[in-house]
């Protein structure tokens, strides 16, 4: 019974600490700045990560929202970036670099997906020869913008171009 009381007290203390840090976003920024103090030139590392040939592919991150038993809606909540692994990188190191870049005020690229408001989470995992960087938005608008920016990083010319050919351009030469 004493263990249950101690466990309950510890749970309440953790909940209070969590609420306090959520209520003070400056506390999160201060924690991030202390974790980032030992990193050398985060922005150039992120710029290298966004560089040509580094992003193997981009996939949308989907979430499902349940309205009722059978009614559910799937929407884009962010992006997964498949990054070529580099010598000296590890998933925890890359996660730290990207998290530090996310709290900084500078941008490494005009289409930087970490410059979106309301980023909920950043996670890095290793998958074969790639690191998978998962960036999730806190709401639909943020998720959609994260995915659009990530796609623009991978393929800046992702806009569709339509050309109309006239019939005179295709006149058979045998006539």
21 is in which domain, residue-wise?
1-37
The whole-angstrom separation of Cα 23 and Cα 31 is 14
Average pLDDT over the chain reads 73
Count other C-beta atoms under 10 Å from residue 76's C-beta.
17
The whole-number pLDDT of residue 39 equals: 74
Query: Is the pLDDT at 56 greater than 60, yes or no?
Result: yes
The answer as to whether 165 is a domain residue is: no
The whole-number pLDDT of residue 133 equals: 95
Instruction: Work out the average pLDDT over 147-170.
Output: 63
Token reading at 28: 């999160």
The whole-number pLDDT of residue 157 equals: 61
The answer as to whether 162 is a domain residue is: no
- CA-to-CA dists, residue 48 to 54, 94, 153, angstroms: 8, 12, 12
- CA-to-CA dists, residue 30 to 14, 27, 50, 102, 174, angstroms: 19, 5, 26, 13, 76
Please tell me whether residues 141 and 60 are part of one structural domain: yes
The answer as to whether 144 is a domain residue is: yes
The answer as to whether 168 is a domain residue is: no
Please tell me whether residues 76 and 22 are part of one structural domain: no
* CA 77 to chain CA centroid, nearest Å: 10
Q: Which of 1-10, 40-49, 113-122 has the highest mean pLDDT?
A: 113-122
Instruction: Work out the average pLDDT over 62-68.
Output: 81
Please tell me whether residues 9 and 45 are part of one structural domain: no
The total domain count for the chain is: 2
Query: Is the pLDDT at 25 greater than 70, yes or no?
Result: no
Closest CA to 158 of 109, 122, 111: 111
The whole-number pLDDT of residue 44 equals: 79
Q: Are 100 and 81 in contact (CB under 8 A)?
A: no
Of residues 21 and 102, the one with the higher pLDDT is 102
Please tell me whether residues 17 and 101 are part of one structural domain: no
Tell me the percentage of the chain whose pLDDT exceeds 90. 28
Please tell me whether residues 124 and 109 are part of one structural domain: yes
The whole-number pLDDT of residue 88 equals: 81
Query: Is the pLDDT at 162 greater than 70, yes or no?
Result: no
- Specify the DSSP class assigned to residue 137: E
Q: State residue 108 phi and psi, 5-degree precision.
A: -90, -10
Please tell me whether residues 64 and 25 are part of one structural domain: no
Query: Is the pLDDT at 63 greater than 70, yes or no?
Result: yes
The answer as to whether 169 is a domain residue is: no
């Amino acid at each position: 019974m004493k263990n249950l009381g101690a466990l309950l007290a510890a749970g309440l203390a953790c909940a209070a600490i969590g609420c306090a840090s959520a209520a003070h976003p400056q506390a999160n920024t201060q924690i991030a700045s202390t974790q980032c103090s030992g990193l050398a030139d985060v922005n150039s590392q992120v710029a290298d990560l966004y560089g040509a040939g580094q992003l193997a592919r981009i996939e949308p991150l989907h979430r499902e929202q349940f309205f009722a038993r059978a009614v559910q809606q799937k929407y884009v909540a962010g992006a997964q970036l498949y990054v070529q692994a580099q010598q000296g990188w590890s998933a925890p190191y890359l996660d730290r670099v990207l998290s530090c870049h996310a709290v900084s005020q500078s941008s490494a690229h005009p289409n930087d997906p970490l410059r979106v408001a309301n980023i909920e989470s950043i996670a890095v995992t290793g998958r074969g020869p790639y690191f998978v960087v998962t960036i999730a938005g806190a709401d639909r608008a943020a998720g959609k913008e994260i995915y659009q920016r990530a796609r623009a990083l991978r393929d800046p010319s992702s806009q569709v171009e339509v050309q109309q050919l006239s019939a005179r351009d295709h006149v058979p030469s045998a006539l």
